[in-house]
Structure 1
Amino acid sequence: MVEARVAQLTGMHAVSALGRGADAQLAGVLAGVPAFGPVGRFDTAARRVTVAATLPEVGTLPDELAFAIDAACRAAGLNRAQRTGCALLLAVHGGLTPGAGPTPTVLAGQLATRCGLSGHTRVYTSACVSASTAVADAAAQITRGEVERVVVAAGYLVEPDQFALFDAGRALAVDGAVRPFSAGRRGLLLGDGVAAVVLESSTGRRRGVDPVATVAGWGRSGDAFHPCQPEPGGTGLARAVNGALRRAGLPPQAVGYVNANATGTAQSDAAEAAALRRALDAHATRVPVSSTKSVHGHALEASGLLELVVTALALRHGELPVNAGWLGPDESCPVNVVTDRPQRTTATHALTLNAAFGGANTALLVGVR
């Protein structure tokens, strides 16, 4: 009998305001102390909101991405020869200011060359589902037997243009805190995020590498509802969750944790809670839910990969991150939020969800043994 091919996470690296390295991300989300502070990287004097989750010392985005890719490959035990023929899927912002750096396509090629990846490159610029879409594509290629391994990388460093757009759109939290699913939530806050992961079939085990986790299922959908607002009933995101479960061959009860997209905005959090009720039925009121954006901020195109890393590590560690900023329950968000302190778990599967303007939704189902 031929063993089914599974996409395994064999190496990872991540950077955020919580620190450098995957272990720093896990420690930060479990500590539950938000990393938001005054932005010193550019002038915010004309802005309504002046805080974000930024690293005090950070390199250029190309340099940070190159380091992350190399570190993830080293964590997976890949030498230069083993990187030959490996594809790079890169998620970054597509609207680069002329003269600010290479275009995303050029950047992907440069990073592949710097890091010794000689396979094809592909760029994802689909806003806040960019990285999770890239992971889904990588997992699909591996499970179909098209490739043995893929590197997925993503990066966003808080910069003045996107900061100004979100501030002008009154999406940023004026009280300086992200409060997902909570009463009194005021909006989102941006945060640095750079991450890279190595996804492989069984080749990692043959090298003696113990996978951190598997991408057991994935689902994608579109709301076709509004340019900026989610469909209030959560039907699109629910379809993505159902797709991930169906691909993995698992029932809703198998989900032991949800790292929600929840950005701390009134409409999106309520729609996501409705989506969980649609997709998980009665289990939606029992499964622990939190949004690690409450600690590390919203890393836009990189969010899906940063949150995949922390979800996989938390599940493997057996401790679920707290939902920071909690003030109290909101009747529009009847979910089982992890508050006060991290929650111990023996669960083997977790969902990490992302959504973007335009109504795009993704769901990644992570599994550990």
Structure 2
Amino acid sequence: MRTGRTGRTGSRRGGAVAVATSGAVLLAGCTPAPESGPVVNAPSASATTPPAVSAPPVVRPVGEPETLASGLDAPWSILRLPDGGVLVTERDAGRIVEVLPDGDLREVAVLPDVVAGGEGGLLGLAHLPGDGDDAASVFAYLSTGDDNRIVRMPLTGEPGELGLGEPEVVLDGIPRGSRHNGGRLAIGPDGYLYATTGDAGSVDLARDRESLGGKILRMTPEGEAAPGNPFGTLVWSLGHRNPQGLAWDAAGGMWAAEFGQNTWDELNRIEPGEDYGWAVVEGRAGDDRFRDPAVQWPTAEASPSGIAIVGDTIVLAALRGERLWFASPATTAPTEADAAFVGELGRLRDVVPGPGDDVWALTNNTDGRGTPRDGDDRLVRIGVEDVG
């Protein structure tokens, strides 16, 4: 594997010291958690008004989940390809599998250099269509023994026979820890590659502009800072603890889901150059220095990972909360959030728009400890219907 562009971590202090220091600040900055239920907030004063669009419909789930594939091992990311192919990453095995129409799993690749452990391993995927003589590519976010990095692989074959070429490093040097590795990848409406990164357990990294940790990054397919980035670097936004969801609404607004610490999990509307407050605040603080979340949940009800936008609705996969949250309308900022399938599927890691009136979600119940759902990892289909 060729070594590509190297990012700076910018870490200046040990993680244990940083946690102890910021914890005292958090106690003063957090909003008390309610007993249950999401708290939906109006956008903060600094919010950018989205352009006027013809609002798509708000959707809600209908019917019961349908299993499309089972037997997955700690799956992390779903990638639906334009030609109908479906790829899924398995975090701990470092494996990418193709989900066939009959539900069978076909191994496409086992990526070299993946070192799983804690929350690290093989994480997110993104697809870049071919352009002229350039073949289509798949990007993957993975953990090595030293860092997190993004690799790019040529995509070959047709559905049922998909293949991936040799990985090429696009960006390395993203801080890696036993927890808080971020890991979501997406190609934005502007054609650039976006990546979510965690603070790797060292909270001082999140607001350090010289670090790649605790950020949302925006880059060219070659791993360079994209034109128009607010600081002239890879950093698009900062002050994140562990964002793992990324999606865009019909107005072009960018949304991210983020794990909180002990009090609040967040759904944030992302603006370039904005600071989302970690580790000074957690959740909504009303502090002009930071951007407040649009919706926040007690951590027992969310632990949000992947998100998808279907119509004018943000669908959020909850791990600890073991449910899907439906928040709408996305184009103007959510005013409603409803939970579905509470406890029915276990932990939910990722969710993407399906090919029809549906969403597809990954369960992530494998833990190796013999829990009731251990090993019950599936790709499921959930129907949705317009409600307004």
With normalisation by structure 1, the TM-score equals 0.31
Higher share in helix: 1
Higher share in strand: 2
With normalisation by structure 2, the TM-score equals 0.30
